[in-house]
Amino acid sequence: MKICYIVAMEAEAKPFVEKFGVEKVESAFGKLPCQLYQHRLSEKDSLHIVVNGQQHGSSLIGCEAASITTLKAIETIQPDIVINSGTCGAFKKNGAEIGKVYIGNGVMFHDRRVMGDDKWYTQSIGNYRLSKLSEEIAAALNMPMGKVTTGSSLDIQPCDLEIMAQHGGELKDMEGAAVAFVCSLLDIPCLLVKSVTDLIDGGENTLDEFLRNLAHASEELSKANVRIVEHLINK
């Protein structure tokens, strides 16, 4: 099985990269900044971790970078499954805790307010299908599940919260739906793994809380990903 991880930030990927001892492939995507790390797990299994890369000295985040990275990764690697691994915000009222890792059971955009008929609205919010392995992995590894909603901003507005509430959104990120969108176009199974850095209803400044908890959440994310990879190759 070719397992391809899409990760936005180097800080999110670093613990996972170090645990597997993957090797960096130089200039794998030409002039694009995304970076490829890969490792042969067995005669028939391989792990590929693709990170968005940097521009202007900082990690590229958000939907545009995630879409480009996912498209080039699929074209180059031709994986059997794409896994978007990253951090997220979540709700304390739903039992979320800093560093808690979830498997996505749905994904959509929460900040696309497109007026029009049902077809335009359906396209704008997404609600992309995720891999049928999602529930199996969550059950086998005793991991909680939650619906991921994606937006282009770190903060969140009241209108975004309304859309999340209407559609059962529990985990807020900036990449998941973009990755799932590309996978849906190319018919590639997609799995989402999200670790909580900030509590949307916790009353703290989002950026301060995110930065304070990024290292811890990324470490917990790495531990979960090791278990997920082991489960996939031992199926």
Alpha-carbon gap, residue 229 to 77, rounded angstroms:
17
Among the listed residues 111, 160, 175, 198, the single catalytic one is: 198
Neighbours of 51 (CB within 10 A): 25
Q: Establish how many alpha carbons lie within 13 A of residue 168's alpha carbon, considering only the half-sphere containing its beta carbon.
A: 8
- Which residues make Cβ contacts (< 8 Å) with residue 231, sequence separation at least 6? 137, 140, 141
Q: Are 188 and 76 in contact (CB under 8 A)?
A: no
- Could you tell me which residues are beta bridge partners of residue 170? none
Q: How far apart are alpha carbons 193 and 147 in whole angstroms?
A: 11
Tokens of 132: 């049928």
Centre a 10 Å sphere on the Cβ of residue 67 and count the other Cβ atoms it contains. Answer: 18
Is 12 noted as a catalytic residue in this protein? yes
Cα-trace Rg, the chain: 17
Give catalytic residues, as residue numbers.
Answer: 12, 198
